[in-house]
Structure formats: structure tokens, C-alpha cells
Amino acid sequence: MVEITNTDERAVDADRISELPEHILHHILCLLHWPMDIARTSILSKKWKVIWESFMSFVFDFDQRRFQSSKAADKWDHIQPLPVEKQSSIFKQVFEESLGGIELPLIRKFILFVENTIATRLDPLPSIQKFRLHVFFSVDLLTPFMNHWISVATDKNVNELDIYAKMDGKFYMLPQVVFVSSTITSLKLYGCGVGDSAVIKLQNLRELSMKSMRINDKIVHNFVQGCPLIEDMRLINCYGLRLLHVSSLPKLNRFAVHERSSLRSVKLEATNLEMFWFHGKKSSRCKLILAGCGNLKHLTLKHARMADKSFQENISYFPLLEMLFLLQCHALQRITILSDKLKKLSLVRCHKLKEANIDAPNLLSFEYTGTELPLSSMNASRLQEVKLHVKSQKQKFHPFELQKFIAGFDGKGFKLFLASRQDVNIYEELRGLHLLHSRVYKIELTKSARMLENLLNSHLRDFHPKTLTFMTSPISDLLVFIQEKILKKEKTPSCCKYYSKKCWRHYLEDVKLFEFSSAASAVNPSMSLELKWSASPLPLPEDVEITEAY
């Protein structure tokens, strides 16, 4: 009875989130990026259905893509103009004059949909949470309407404003009302323009994202001066930047720059900055000056021309660094990383890197992608996982150095996952390991049995390999996985009956089992499976790369 009582208590405790105040639950929903994810919360319980409905009544999302296809034209046939007394002034002035012809039916319907929604749903509200407007064609024709719609949103004290305007060779110039709002906390812009003379005073702005925009150093300076509470700032593929200098933002925690034009330097002075991303062009000569960011914890650099000296100088400024990602830093040749705080390190396609000395006693995760393993020395006694993707440029790859590296983990509880597109080898003990010659190796070392199962499951899904070879103990959890998921697979698996996209088990046609003698199993795999598939999946790209979400 005690166990049941405790279980019930844990079940009650597990749903404490539902007891939070409504405004906090609305904030949680704001953190979900996909509308489908937000909609799914409505089926959690009756209370969450009410929360979702109340939240959606304050969120307005207008996406022109829904009106692009011929099917969409039929779907929105029912939309008609509102009675004259409910029409906006801009609609009366511009609509029939500019878009009265039948050659633009989808644009007309999009405008009618937005106008009608604003008049019937938005206008009666005292304030709104989010206004999202994504326009993909005929932006120039829609400009007067967009100005009006955005002004309505700011008049309703909008908190989150997201404007996406895709035009060929032009930029949608934002109205001044956007830059003097006292309620906007999140501003996301794509393809928009900001005038040099724009007065920027967004006193409550916390998040600023500008993508594919034409901005200059002065405009960035104006944002910095007029938005003192910014915590998250991202400049992605923007034109016109030359000397980017950001300071005087005491709350800045996250900063990202993806270079589009010829950026000469990035200078950051932000004592509370914890995360910084820089993705430069292949020809980038941008100088990074990061001495004023002593509390940085997460650093991602994609910089093809960053030399050893520049890297070593910058890395010395970050004694608290916990995660370091170096992507396609082709000019690096010899680096040394000394840190007692570093927990995760990734070196991905730094093709000229010949020597890496790593002294990071608290490192938990290491990842390397390249043609040759450049590690000269490595002190990382707390490692929990290692990911290696080694692709040789030679006809045959002789992995002696790689085998020597892996042998260093023998006796430390690591399990080895070694795979090419057609073969998978799993070793739960590293003693007596011998790597065969191959062109491509995907290698992962982990201490987690669950992670090993996930790796195998993922590889079976993506590549449909021909053989699986295992060296395991008789009590291995992996044997249970093999027995239940592969050897005893139903002829018609029921695992995906509610999904149109099926898992790998639906394509597995036949399995042949080969077992090795117990005497040989001490130094060789104890089991091998030959797999026959009914169809091949779409292969993943050969090159492995870390991706960041922006």
C-alpha cells in the first residue's frame, strides 16, 4: 500500500505545471516554436484545452503560403469583404483601386482574410500576445496593407512581432511605429529595411533577430542604444555590415552573427554574454575581438581563415567555457585547449588541423569529423561519449592511429559503435579490437547502454545496413533489443499503424543469424546478422555537421 500511495503522490506532483497561473502557462506556450506543438497541448487535459483556446485568442498568424496553391484558392472561396462600416480605411482606399482585377485572386483572398480577422477577432481585444505576418510575393503591392496591419498590432500592445517579407532585390521598409513600441519584447525580422534616420526606442525589447536585411553599423548602434534590455541578439545573413561593435548591453546573454557581406571585424564587450556564434563566409577575413566577454560558456566558430594565433588569443579570454564547437576552421593547424570547465568539444571538418593538444579533465563529450585524427595528447578522464566520423581521402584507410586512440578507452566501461553504410559492428568490450580497412568510419564510444540502442536504431532507420556484428556479454541489454526488435519481428509490425512514415522494421524482410563459438568470442564478435531489406531509405548526407537552431 505504501508503494501505491507514493506512486499516486508522484503522479500528482508530476502535474504541478498545470496548476501554474494562466499567464505563466501562456508564456510556456510562447516558447514552443511550431504551431502544431502548441495545438497538441490542447489534448493533455480539459484545463490545457482551455489554456490553449485562451492563448490562441491572443495570437495572430498570417502566412501567405497558405494562399499560394490552386487548392488554397478553393479553400478560401467563401471569403467576402466585410460590410462597409466594418472595413478599415486603408481597405476602402486601396483594395479596389490596386487589386480589383481578377488576375490576382489569391492576393485578394489573403488580404480579405487578414482584414476580416483583424476586424472580427483582433479589434475587440485590449491587447495581443503575438502578431506574425509572413509575405512571400507581391510585397510591393501589399506594402500599404502591411503598414496598416502592423500599426494595428502595435496599437494593441503586441508583445511579440514577427515580420517576414521576401522580395527580389527590395526590402520592405518597416513603419516607424515598430521602433517606438513600449510593449514589444520580441522582434523578429526577415527581408525588412530600417531607415538610417529611424528613431529606435524599444525599452522592453529582450529578443532581436534580423535576417537577410540591409543594415549598417549605424543601425546596429541605434538598436544597441535604444534597446537597453536586449538578452538575445541575432544578425543572420545581413547586408551592409562592416565594423560590428556591440557594447552597453548589460543583459546580453546570447549573440549570433552569420556573415553575408564583407564583415571586417566583430568587437563584443558584454560581461554577461554566455553564448556566441560566428559563422563566416569561406572568404571571410573578419577579425574577432572578444576580450570583453569573460563569462562566455558556449562558443561556436565557423571561420575558414582564423589562424592558430587568433584562436589561441581568443580562447584565453574564456576561463568559464563549457562548450566549444569549431566548424570548418580550415586555417587551423595546431591548437592547444586547456580548461578545467570544458564539458563538450566538437572539431568538425577543420581539414588542415594536424595537431590538437587537449587538457580538459572535466570533458564529458568529444566529437571529431575529418580525414585524419589529429589528437596529439588528450587528458579527459571524465569522458562519457566520443563521436568520430573519419573519412579518408585515400583509396583505402589504414586506421592504426584510430585503433590506438580507441584502445585508450579499454577497461573504462565504454562500448563501441562502429559503422559504415553497409556494416555495423558493436563491441561492448574493447579488448582485442581490430579495425578493418574501410573508406568511411562512423565511430561512437559511449558508457550508456540506452545510447547504444539509440545509435543502432538510428542507423537501421537511415541506411538499412547489410550486416550487424556484435561482441556482447550473455546478460547484455543489447541482446534483448536484438531478440525483440529484429529476430522476433512480426511479419507486419504494428508499431507504426498510426503513422504514414514507417520505421525500419517495416522494411526488414529477412534475417540470418550466425553465432561464433564461446572460445573465439573472447577476442571476436559472438554474433552476426545478415539483413535483407525490401526497400532502401533515402540516404543521409555523407558529411556529418553540427547544426544550430536560430
Instruction: State the DSSP code for 214.
Output: B
Query: pLDDT digit string (tens) for 55-83?
Result: 555 788 898 888 876 666 566 666 666 66
With H, G, I as helix, E, B as strand and everything else as coil, classify residue 37.
Answer: helix
Integer Cα distance of 242 and 264 in angstroms = 5
Predicted confidence (pLDDT) at residue 370 exceeds the cutoff of 50: yes
* Plot region of 191 (φ>0 → left; ψ -120 to 50 → alpha; else → beta): left
With H, G, I as helix, E, B as strand and everything else as coil, classify residue 58.
Answer: coil
Query: pLDDT digit string (tens) for 521-533?
Result: 444 447 899 999 9
* Plot region of 254 (φ>0 → left; ψ -120 to 50 → alpha; else → beta): beta
Instruction: State the DSSP code for 438.
Output: B
Least confident among 39-48, 333-342, 352-361, 411-420: 39-48
Q: How distant, in Å, are the alpha carbons of 64, 86, 117 from that of 123?
A: 21, 10, 9
| Mean pLDDT taken over the chain | 82
Confidence of residue 550 (pLDDT cuts 50, 70, 90): very low
The x, y and z cell numbers of residue 240, run together, are 551592409
Can you say whether the dihedral through the CA atoms of 91, 92, 97, 102 is positive or negative?
positive
Nearest of 319, 292, 291, 314 to residue 301 by alpha carbon? 314
Q: What is the dihedral of CA 244, 248, 251, 257, to 10 degrees?
A: 0
Query: pLDDT digit string (tens) for 224-251?
Result: 999 999 999 999 999 899 999 999 999 9
Say if residues 318 and 340 touch (Cβ distance below 8 Å): no
Sequence letter at residue 411 = G
